[in-house]
Structure 1
Amino acid sequence: MARIEDVSDGSVDESDARPRRGSPMNPDETFDDILRKASEIKTAQMKDKRRAWEASPEFMKNTMTFDKDESYVAMRKSASVAEKIAFAAPIKEEGNELFAKGKYAQAMAKYTAAVAVFRYWIREQSGREQNVVKYYDDEAVEDPDDRRAARNLIRSIYLNAAQCMRKGNLADGPTEIIWTCTEVLAIDPSSAKAHYVRALARAELDDSASLELAVKDLARANALAPNDRAVRDAMRTYGAAHAEQTAKDRAAYGAVFGSRNKEGLYANEEEPETGERAAASAGAGASGEGSDGDADPALRALQNMSEEELKARCKAVGVDLDNPRVVKELGKRAKARKEEELKAKAREMGIDLGDPSVRKMLELLEKEERGAEELSRLPAWRRWIYHSFDGTRWLNVQNAMYAALAVNVVYRVWKVINMPEVSPRGFGGYPGDDEF
């Protein structure tokens, strides 16, 4: 069985998970890298929030109900891939029949029972702690044909489950559908249906970054299934919504990126795309075409413009870049949009930036990075003193003092034990028995 990860109910000291203060940090490390590092640390140290468990949709969590079922336990342990497929396929078909009848909750239960043959959560006892462990048995299959057959079944179950959650309104938010479709695309990147269903779920998140991702998904789905009317209709709808949102974002920046009299940064460039053109452009971006930042008309125009010209153009549309309050407002808006994009990326990675424990971990990482930068600028003798008192290092002044104290105590105890006997003459001056 392929054991993917452990998530424990116990707690572990966070200081063991953090990088040591003063340790070298990568100056080119991006916020995405920090997010990924936070996720890895939380999983590796088995934090109580159990990130991977929480990211899983409900129907996957329910696979845990089979961890004591004798038929499942025996099959997972010794059955061949063909036997597992023969067991799971009829259960999936029962789910499809229930789905066709509109019995979505019952259908989801069948999809859970079917996928639990290959992918599942179980409870394992480790000493006094109970760990929740995720297994992807299909990843341990060595024979390519068997692995392909197992994954084709899993892909079909996931796709049906995603549509069942959407139609039956069974998902706990769009993120469960996004998770399921992303798993499908990890198996089959050319699944137009997975791109389409994920796009609809992303559009429900109601933020500009997710809407942009939805349009890219739809563009990819349209490229894979150009005759699918539902995909084309969704492209028109969400492509127009994305173009409208883009226009609002540009307007929010005081028309710096375009003016009514063609005197903005786009004066000699083509106008923003709308509708299907926006969707088509997004599709090109999704496939890797036109992804170079230098090809962006706005960026190219801005790079070729002097500071004086930029200020003059902004002033022509009523924006004074010499006004500190205006600059501050532009910075706030840029920061707000960046935070939206980061939250969307974090959700894709299964991280909730609204979770206090995640925020605490990121703050600790940021603090460690700032501390390392400040420490590197200190003179060598001050760095030596700092390291001497650093509590995260085993060799420091505090530990040396404790060791000296322990040696002193041991020495005193040894001295008392080996002290010579005192003659009775020492007590009141009376002679001993040997002097009579």
Structure 2
Amino acid sequence: MSDTHAESVAFVRETALPPTAPPMAASGPVLWARTNLFATWPNAILSIAAAYVIYLILAATLPWMLNGVWTADSLRGCREVLDGTSGACFSVLTERWNQLLFGFNYPSELYWRPTLAFVLLFVAAAPVLFFDLPRKLLIFTGLYPFLAYWLIWGGTIFIPLVALIGVIVGYAVYDRLVKRNFALGFFSGIAAAAVVWWIGGALIEQFAFGAPMMEEIASRNLGGFMLNMMLGVTCVSLSLPIGVALALGRQSSLPVVKMICVVFIEFIRGVPLITLLFVANVMLAYFFPPGSGVDLFLRVVIMITMFSAAYIAEVIRGGLAALPKGQYEAADSLGLDYAQSMRLIILPQALKISIPGIVNIAVGLFKDTTLVSVISLFDIVGMIRGPILASTDWAGVYWELFMFAGGMFFIVCYGISQYSQWLERRLATDHR
């Protein structure tokens, strides 16, 4: 080929040009702002107005917070340090943190016990919340409630052991009767466990098995945010299975079981929670055997659990109603009995549909635990309104204390919300 002909052939590049960065308006923060904040004129106006409101709030609060005092021993000491300038008195948090978290009667040398129970809570909840973990960890999950009880309340080890035996007996009764009817087996199991607990408690009190292995703490000495966490975790954990049983019992073919569940759900949902708490404080003890001395904390747990279970039952009933009839027919065609069809086919789908409603009730229940302050249980709000603000050193400090309480509740509720969203994505609740 001649040189002249070679020069007339078009040049073909053998290597690709290096990629260039996209324009600023087509990527990064600029693209995000154009898409989410200024996509339309109404969106742009609302974004600017919201930014201005946020600026006003921060301009008023940031100097007050950044100028806060952390080392004074009273409100008067904060004012002396501030010397007429505006600033927060965060010293109340550093001075009374132990009362805000543990109450004012829980012995300070025993703070390690509820702290250890709180840390172990995450270990126990992990295999339930994240189902990819080994199933063997569920053994510790089942033992955790009895271990946590012993750590927080102390006393003899025989009390949580009797409670564990009662749960085992109750499960055996449930497993025997659940094939006939889920609600019948569930409530029969609860009744059997309650009988074992009552007999075991009477035997422990009668024969005084062993001396306390740890210093015993009365429920009246529990308080602070620890009490809110204990009520929230306990009541949510108990109300979910009871709510499932009530929802299935309301659809039961047994007229007596159905009537009991309907009356219970409608009555509880028609009564305010604060009324039930007053009932727990004043009247519920009359329903127990004379001289049993049922603890106020237990009575409050029973009432809050009943309240939450009634609402969860309706949420789950909605999930059951959303399932097509073909799912029930598919279970029958596979030859599954009632318990197997509910456990393997019906309930997993109904619970997935019900996740947003259940989480909404759990968040509301956790915040409603502050209502126990009206019956003289000093949770974190009760501690603020009672001993802390009643003291002459901190009378008049409001914003700092309630901001701390609100922050603690926000952390827990936000964590629950984020976990529920992750769970929905993981389980593909939208059936994509």
Higher helix share: 2
TM-score, scaled to structure 1: 0.23
TM-score, scaled to structure 2: 0.24
Higher strand share: 1
